[in-house]
Amino acid sequence: MVTRQMDNAGGAGHTAGMTTTQKIAVSLPKHVAEGARRAVRSGRAKSVSAYVADALEEKVKLDDLSQLLDEMLAESGGPLTAAERRTADRALGVAQRAPLRRRAR
């Protein structure tokens, strides 16, 4: 992996507000790279770099939230059992949940 620190003091581009960016080289599956390019062509992203940076920022947030949830569950005795979930759903007036099914890939 190649990295290079870049100063973004001008505040332009997808990193506006950030004081430092880091340029890295990554390999992506072809369909992912094409999806990023389509997003740029359709105006949903300023650049492929901006698209990737936004996606990675969301992933970091989700990972942080997942870690926080794990910590909270550890402090509270773990996740609800199926019976506890049914009791909570009844108390909240929530309709019975359908079992989750995995989507085929």
Q: Checking phi first, is residue 22 left (phi over 0); if not, alpha (psi -120 to 50) or beta?
A: beta
pTM exceeds 0.75 = no
* Sites in the chain below the pLDDT cut of 50: 1-2, 8-12, 15
Query: From the CB of residue 47, how many other CB atoms can be counted at a distance below 10 Å?
Result: 14
Rounded CA gap, 15 and 17, in Å?
Answer: 6
Q: Write out pLDDT tens, residues 44-69.
A: 999 999 999 999 999 999 999 999 98
In this prediction, residue 11 carries a pLDDT of 45
Going by C-alpha positions, the residue among 48, 57, 58 that lies closest to residue 26 is 48
In this prediction, residue 9 carries a pLDDT of 47
Residue 98's SS3 state is: coil
> Is the torsion defined by CA of 71, 77, 82, 84 positive or negative?
negative
2 and 35 in contact (C-beta within 8 Å)? no
The CA-CA-CA angle for residues 82, 83, 89, to 5°, reads 90
